[in-house]
Amino acid sequence: MRRLWRRVLREDRLGALGAVLLAALLLLGMVGPWLPLGDADAIGAGPRLGAPSLAFPAGTDELGRTYLPRVIDGIGATFLVSSIAVVITAVLGTLLGMAAGTLRGAADLAIARFADVLFAFPALLFGLLAAAVLGAGGASAVVVIAVATLPLFVRVVRAATLAVAGREFVVAARVAGASTLRILVVHILPNVLGAAIVQLTYALSIGMLIESGLSFLGLGVQPPRASLGSLLRLGSIYLNIAPWLVLLPGVTLALAIMAVNLFGDAVRDALEPLRGRPLT
């Protein structure tokens, strides 16, 4: 793991940039409520739709609330919802993918068809269904992100498992009488963990896009709490007279997704050093 971090941070400049930017955004989202930036929910703290100034560096919104702490709260909410959903996806996807690649036969077919069914559902349509059943909010967004990112996670881990399941050390363990559970935990999991980590980073960027899209439509994080998507939705109403209400959360969301993707690419290259090299 130490060698992995050294490769990402020292040998890949774009990966290091992504890691630093991602860490900065995560830290800002976590400690934002304790920063001396004002109360994000205080109505009338300044003029309505006030332009950025020394008193309000990011301006104010339609209710006169200082905008910078609301954007920082939005960073935390977007990362939190997406991270919870992606962790659920990672656990379920890794278990299902390893089971499909190891057990083969009917279990493999059933898991593959299950992933195909989930893959066929558009995220927006499933978001409307989840909001109708669970109500609009963070819980619905978590369910939608998990369902949308699970099929690809299962496929990636299954492919990695199939590449490992036929190796000599796995066959030797099976011949020696090792149980299926021991083979999965001791022999399969360490060898597919790299692929799962790489897929987790990409799933996080997809999750942030889905969460922002759902919040933009009013199906995700609900007021008074803010997310980057809900801030974009409210800011779009006043785009002609207060463009900073869209510019700041939009740029922040783009930087967050770029940071996750750069970091994911660096981790992939560190785990697969031969990828992209010319054959000699």
Residue 280 lies in a domain: no
Tell me, yes or no, whether 205 lies in a domain.
yes
For residue 95, being part of any structural domain is answered with yes
**Domain contains 39:** no
Q: Which residues of the chain have pLDDT under 70?
A: 1-12, 272-280
Assign residue 132 a region (left: φ > 0; alpha: ψ between -120 and 50; beta: otherwise).
Answer: alpha
| Torsion over CA: 58, 70, 200, 113 (sign) | negative
pTM of the model as a whole: 0.85
CATH code of the domain containing 177: 1.10.3720.10
Half-sphere exposure of 71 (CA within 13 A, CB side): 24
Range of the domain at 117: 2-29+62-271
Contacts of 172 (CB under 8 A, 6+ apart): none
| Domains of the chain: total | 1
| pLDDT value, residue 275 | 47
| 38 domain residue, yes or no | no
Is residue 8, in this structure, part of any structural domain at all? yes
pLDDT tens digits, one per residue of 113-154: 888 888 887 777 788 888 888 888 888 889 999 988 999 899
